[in-house]
Structure 1
Amino acid sequence: MNRFLLFLALSFTAGTIAIAQEYNTESSEVTKADLSLNSFPQDSTANAFYIYEEGYSQFEDGGDYNLLTNYVAKIKILNKDGYDHSVIKIRLGKNEDRKEKIHDLKAYTYHLQNDQIYSRRLEPSKIYTEENEHADYVSFTFPDVKPSSVLVYSYQKESPFYFDLETWWFQEDIPKLHSEFTTKLPTNYNYNIRIIGNLPLDKNESELIEKCSFKSILDEPGYCVLSEYEMNDIPAFIEEEYMTSKYNYISRLDFELKEYARLDGYVQKFTKAWEDVDKEIKDDKSIGKQLKRTSQVDDVLPEAIKAKPNNLEKAREIYRFVRDNYQWNGDYALFRDMNLKDVIRDKAGNISGINILLHNLLKEEGFDVLAVLGSTRNNGFLTKLYPILSEFNYLMVQLKQDDKEYLLDATDKFLDFGIIPFKALNQHARLMDFENGSSWITLEPSTYSSISFIDQLTLNPDGTAQGKSDQVYTGYQAVDARKFLEKERHNGSNSAIAISADYTSTLSTAYENEDEPSKKFRATKELKNTSQKINDQIYLNPFSYKFIEDNPFKLAERNYPIDFGYKKVFNYRVEIEIPENYSIVEIPKQKIISLPENGGRIQFLAEQTADNRVKVQFRVALLKSLYIAGFYPYLKEFYNTIIDIQNQSLLVIRENS
């Protein structure tokens, strides 16, 4: 690094450290600097941020020996747009027998006036409790909040649910300068601890402490593990397009009780092995027992289908029969009472009901099928280190036929055989083989989903053009197009599937294969364009329609992957007939751009033919369904290039003198 760059790096680092030191990040005590400073250089878009946050969890010494978590936070409000963060809501979990409690809740708003610190306390009468079935919520709003205010609140939560220790959220939707969490846990309580997210911990230390456990838990005071976790300069987590659930990436600590050792030596295990879970699911009355009831579907299939030989075409017909005759009721719940007889009778059911019916019909006809348990994209990734049944909310079917494997889902009328819904493309799922043991499978479509436009244009001497656009959609792009069309018609709207340019008027549209997912979805458009004509020259953009209108990637940086779910290809071909007595003066330059590691490619070519026509070819290929965060700046520029080619490509045509 040269001296100038080194000087800049040191200056930037020193400036960042200085800001952190000016704010009091050592405790919840409010200083004059906390109040007088009113900027956050690390993120100029921030409207509020945490100066300091601390949590401490340990078991209660006496009483009910519940889990106690002390919490304190100090928040800086920078402007009026940050007022939302003066409204606090605290969740208290509960079940039929027990519930969490909150103690000693205090909240203060601090101001600086005439160089003196003033505070206003939240009145207890302004604290509200909302009761719900599975949780209560304690909420309040800080009083007298203004720009530059500092808000401090603290409380203790008492929880009888020691199975799930309090999750510590290092990252939220506003930045934090300092966040720390400490746990003090007896060694006979063994927790699985997961550090989730890509941000590194600044402190992760544990030590063994003697004589800290309570006599009511052990005959003599035993050992505890004191663990300290700390993170500084934490950016806000900002959701962006092409991501799965934010809970896959937002930085936090998750705790789950693995096992508990009793005084008599018995070890009670809470986290099970997959062998145990396989047996549990096999015996579950809504999953395993329903999968065995193939005899219930004896009379469901039409004889015309049953009579066919067991080949792939018969499997397709069985799939189409279930998809077209049984309706998903919108329910995802897997481990809720479900009876296959009710699905057959009502011709409707939840996710597992419809797909277990498909499984049993295929099984009864002699096909090799297994159930697949998964999680939807917005539900979060499945934990692969150990099984957590509550993470599963989806069931599909795997068919093996002719040495190939097909994933099937009959809950969506727009899906073709071998395609599962986009919402289920969540990287991994569990193949439930109760005879040989379950295993992980990867959920990544092998084929590309494409959009192809083929335009024929005739340019007129006045600069207008008319012609036809033949637009073809395949794979998930076809699913999206069909769903968009149905929604627009249902709403009485006439919005077009393809994005037309500002200078394009679509005169008419005809669709093909709207209700046939096994075929390509096609739209044929009659169009008219206007272009700019200055004196004797016409400036024509050859693209009547756009693949992308705006760049979905707008962040300065992104610390989580870009997950498209499937691989994409866009093709655009245009042939333009030039009017007589006109010549082509200029055509756009060729462009070929590639993403690193063969991740994608843009190819753009315009050429003049011997018969005075112009042919334009534009191809975009995203060759991966998932890109790691390091690809973000390249993908951002990749999309900018696509937009520039669409918007800035001009043909210059001049009238012959």
Structure 2
Amino acid sequence: MMRFALVNFKVSFHFFFFALLATHLSAVAQPKVNLSQLKAKFPNDEMAYLNRSEKVAIEVVNGELQIDVFHQEDRVFLDKRASVFADERIYFSEAFQEIKDLDAVSYIPEKSGYNRTPVTDIKTERPSPGGGIFFDDMQVKKFTFPGAKEGGIGTVSYTERVKSPYMLSGFVFGNYVPVINSEFSVSFPASVKVSYKTYGDMKGIVFAKTTQNGKTVYTWKAQNLKASPLETESLSLRHYVPQVFLFIESYTANGQTKEVLGDVQKLFNYYKSLVKDLNKQPSSQLKALTDSLTRGKSEVEKIRSVYYWVQDHVKYIAFEEGLGGFIPRQANDVCQKRYGDCKDMASLTSSMLNLAGIPSYLVWIGTRDIPYKYAENPSMSVDNHMIAAVKWQGKWQFLDATDDRIDFGLPTSHIQGKEALIMTSEDKYEIVPVPVVPANQNTKVDSMILSIDGKTLKGNGTLTFQGLWKTSLKSAVQYRSEPQRDEYYKNVLSRGSNKCALLKNVVTGLQDRDVPVRLQYAFSVPDYVQEAAGELFINPHLTRPWADKRMEESRKNDWKHEFTHIEDMVTILPVPKGYTVTNLPTNASFSHPDFGFKLSYEQKNDQIVVRSQWTLNSLLVKKSSFPEWNKMVAALNEAYSEVISLKKG
């Protein structure tokens, strides 16, 4: 991934801190906190953040911008699990930030009051590289509040020097724990032009503009913000909470005015300055490689050949130090070293395609965890990824070489619906929405022929995956050992009951591009066929999608999905010789714009054909749709309980 510029605008759980007291706790000898009142107010929370204050001070000193952010943060531990929340981490980049004047204090409750215990063991370390593939200049200051226990308080304050005006971002009013009082401010002289944008529901956020000592001060304050629910399969916190984005539009020093940020054009101007010297002189090695891959091929064959070569031959390893986290490396170097991150792969992909005569462009884009459009937040926190793009048959095609499981023509799942900032020339750009792949392209199709052998149900089938469902399957098995793959396939192909025995599984297409993945399988399920009074009973629903997916009323967030899809199943049951069909279930269906199902049953000559289809048309099932979703799940489960009956004679 490309480095995500987040200075001040911090998004990890440990970076959100909030306030309850009017004065900072570190300034008083004995804090006064009514623990029982707080516990009554937040009965389901293990902790609450107390004073959170970030004050941004912008100056022009010796002709240069100086940006300092003073952080003051307090927390109170509300139950006996205090140690879980006692660890503190402050992440920063050596190239873009300096952390100084760090002071932390633990207030340990005793019978007579609080024992004020300063934190003395503060370590500065480099975080372990993620999976051995991500290396950067990030550092972390880490410590633990000593003696943390129920009723205890931890406070921390520090000054953050922001070394680049492009890295100033904003503030989030929200967290997964309660926020009582929270304050954000910025002060700046007349020689600096500062603007701001807000995002989310700002109701309850109080704004004030004042002038102090010739400086303009913007202040935002909030009180009693409820905890945002931390739930699985949800959008990130940034989608739900109010936020303020700051922009230094320009500043004047020594009689000269320098433009910085504030709109999309300024952001693009900065981005293009980072790539202005990129790939000006392709090497003979790169030219020869490109020619060997594309000579004599059609346009689309050239695109596929280059795209798939980069996917297969360049290993994802990120070295992101300083501006190296934002500037792509030269295609010549990436090709020679055979490793790089997203922006390096984008550099190589676009360079090779241009050498092959296919116009290709660099693209800045944010993943789906980032909610903003470029006009809403034209800063470096609006995106965190770089890919390449080509226009083929009049449509933009997005090439993300970091995912070697994706086929040409499909965007990766995590950029669907996002805006792409495409650099179409040295001075021009286009903002293009990445399409959401339609459900009918992401399909899972299961065809089975069954047979009855006493009480055992046997079957042979073919399970076919296409589109992003194919990509998901390949991702699930890619790094598993052979025994782990076998166990995974066994779970995917389990039919009927936990007694199911997988007798055969032949996988094709797993290593191929532009073709489906198919699992050809055979199975048997002992004791599945029930018999009573000379009649056989068979439940034809050997798999039951969504049967256990009822949305609880307590859930607060919308339900996020990786891709839309259609799942089809055709089950054929030959009627055993000498038997007649005495019962076929009634057809069932449910229709909603975002989801639905169809189940049908028919007898054709000596066969029973059951057709099932489940459709998800949206990446996000809204909470407002949960009642309808639950109605559908109830209808499904009722239908799943129906059986086919056969009588002899």
Same fold (TM over 0.5): yes
1:344-363: per-residue Cα shift (whole Å, max 9, x none)? 33444443444433333332
* CA distance in structure 2 between the partners assigned to 1:318 and 1:98 by the alignment: 39
* CA distance in structure 2 between the partners assigned to 1:153 and 1:312 by the alignment: 59
Q: Which amino acid aligns with 1:615?
A: V
* CA distance in structure 1 between the partners assigned to 2:336 and 2:61 by the alignment: 54
The answer to whether the Cα contact below 8 Å between 1:241 and 1:552 also exists between their aligned partners in 2 is no
Query: Mapping of 1:303-322 within 5 angstroms?
Result: 305-308=294-297, 310-322=298-310
Aligned-pair distance for 1:450? 0.8
* CA distance in structure 2 between the partners assigned to 1:279 and 1:183 by the alignment: 28
Which residue of structure 1 aligns with residue 143 of structure 2?
139
Residue of 610, 635, 649 corresponding to 1:616 = 610
Aligned-pair distance for 1:621? 1.5
Aligned-pair distance for 1:229? 1.7
Aligned-pair distance for 1:575? 1.8
Which residue of structure 1 aligns with residue 178 of structure 2?
175
State whether structure 2 residue 258 is matched by structure 1 residue 271.
no
Evaluate the alpha carbon distance shift between residue 107 and residue 159 of structure 1 in structure 2; reply closer, same or farther with a 3 A threshold.
farther
Larger RCO, structure (CA 8 Å, separation 6 or more):
2
The answer to whether the Cα contact below 8 Å between 1:89 and 1:139 also exists between their aligned partners in 2 is yes
Which residue of structure 2 aligns with residue 289 of structure 1?
278
The answer to whether the Cα contact below 8 Å between 2:264 and 2:375 also exists between their aligned partners in 1 is no
Aligned-pair distance for 1:160? 5.8
Which residue of structure 2 aligns with residue 298 of structure 1?
287
The answer to whether the Cα contact below 8 Å between 2:331 and 2:351 also exists between their aligned partners in 1 is no
1:138-197: per-residue Cα shift (whole Å, max 9, x none)? 523242613xx2425353536465846695443223233x1220425135344443444x
Aligned-pair distance for 1:531? 2.0
Quote the sequence identity (%): 13
Which residue of structure 1 aligns with residue 565 of structure 2?
568
Which residue of structure 2 aligns with residue 524 of structure 1?
520
Q: Which amino acid aligns with 1:570?
A: E
Which residue of structure 2 aligns with residue 375 of structure 1?
366
Which residue of structure 1 aligns with residue 539 of structure 2?
541
Evaluate the alpha carbon distance shift between residue 621 and residue 226 of structure 1 in structure 2; reply closer, same or farther with a 3 A threshold.
same
Which residue of structure 1 aligns with residue 474 of structure 2?
482
State whether structure 2 residue 217 is matched by structure 1 residue 225.
yes
1:18-63: per-residue Cα shift (whole Å, max 9, x none)? xxxxx98777789998233574576x6433334x434252649999
Cα root mean square deviation, aligned: 4.1
* CA distance in structure 1 between the partners assigned to 2:319 and 2:553 by the alignment: 33
Which residue of structure 1 aligns with residue 74 of structure 2?
73
Aligned-pair distance for 1:423? 3.8
Query: Mapping of 1:348-497 within 5 angstroms?
Result: 348-377=339-368, 383-385=374-376, 387-389=378-380, 392-425=383-416, 427-434=418-425, 437-447=428-438, 448-462=441-455, 464-490=456-482, 492-497=484-489
> Once structures 1 and 2 are overlaid, which stretch shifts more, 465-474 or 412-421?
412-421
Which residue of structure 2 aligns with residue 20 of structure 1?
none
* CA distance in structure 2 between the partners assigned to 1:49 and 1:542 by the alignment: 52
Q: Which amino acid aligns with 2:99?
A: E
Evaluate the alpha carbon distance shift between residue 441 and residue 563 of structure 1 in structure 2; reply closer, same or farther with a 3 A threshold.
farther
Which residue of structure 2 aligns with residue 121 of structure 1?
116
Aligned-pair distance for 1:89? 3.7
Normalised by the length of structure 1, the TM-score is: 0.78
SS at match of 2:279: helix
Evaluate the alpha carbon distance shift between residue 609 and residue 437 of structure 1 in structure 2; reply closer, same or farther with a 3 A threshold.
same
The answer to whether the Cα contact below 8 Å between 2:327 and 2:343 also exists between their aligned partners in 1 is no
* CA distance in structure 2 between the partners assigned to 1:574 and 1:568 by the alignment: 20
Q: Which amino acid aligns with 1:207?
A: K
Q: Which amino acid aligns with 2:74?
A: A
* CA distance in structure 2 between the partners assigned to 1:303 and 1:136 by the alignment: 46
1:78-109: per-residue Cα shift (whole Å, max 9, x none)? 3x345412333445x46369722235543313
SS at match of 1:343: helix
Evaluate the alpha carbon distance shift between residue 39 and residue 639 of structure 1 in structure 2; reply closer, same or farther with a 3 A threshold.
farther
> Once structures 1 and 2 are overlaid, which stretch shifts more, 447-456 or 248-257?
248-257
* CA distance in structure 2 between the partners assigned to 1:275 and 1:38 by the alignment: 47
Evaluate the alpha carbon distance shift between residue 255 and residue 476 of structure 1 in structure 2; reply closer, same or farther with a 3 A threshold.
same
Which residue of structure 2 aligns with residue 258 of structure 1?
249
Evaluate the alpha carbon distance shift between residue 303 and residue 424 of structure 1 in structure 2; reply closer, same or farther with a 3 A threshold.
same
Which residue of structure 2 aligns with residue 593 of structure 1?
590
Aligned-pair distance for 1:276? 5.2
Q: Which amino acid aligns with 2:250?
A: E
1:591-628: per-residue Cα shift (whole Å, max 9, x none)? 32223xx22322222x241546433222111223355x
Aligned-pair distance for 1:519? 0.8
Aligned-pair distance for 1:296? 6.3
SS at match of 1:496: helix
Evaluate the alpha carbon distance shift between residue 488 and residue 59 of structure 1 in structure 2; reply closer, same or farther with a 3 A threshold.
closer
1:403-427: per-residue Cα shift (whole Å, max 9, x none)? 3432234444422222233344461
Evaluate the alpha carbon distance shift between residue 348 and residue 48 of structure 1 in structure 2; reply closer, same or farther with a 3 A threshold.
closer
Aligned-pair distance for 1:453? 1.0
* CA distance in structure 2 between the partners assigned to 1:105 and 1:413 by the alignment: 46
* CA distance in structure 2 between the partners assigned to 1:618 and 1:394 by the alignment: 39
The answer to whether the Cα contact below 8 Å between 2:350 and 2:388 also exists between their aligned partners in 1 is yes
Structure of larger gyration radius = 1
SS at match of 2:470: helix
The answer to whether the Cα contact below 8 Å between 2:178 and 2:227 also exists between their aligned partners in 1 is yes
1:448-474: per-residue Cα shift (whole Å, max 9, x none)? 211111121123442x21011211100
Evaluate the alpha carbon distance shift between residue 638 and residue 400 of structure 1 in structure 2; reply closer, same or farther with a 3 A threshold.
farther
Q: Which amino acid aligns with 2:347?
A: I
Structure 2 residues not aligned, in runs of 5+: 1-18, 127-136
* CA distance in structure 2 between the partners assigned to 1:431 and 1:365 by the alignment: 20
The answer to whether the Cα contact below 8 Å between 1:187 and 1:223 also exists between their aligned partners in 2 is yes
Q: How many residues align?
A: 600
* CA distance in structure 1 between the partners assigned to 2:205 and 2:265 by the alignment: 36
The answer to whether the Cα contact below 8 Å between 2:58 and 2:186 also exists between their aligned partners in 1 is no
Structure 1 residues not aligned, in runs of 5+: 1-22, 214-221
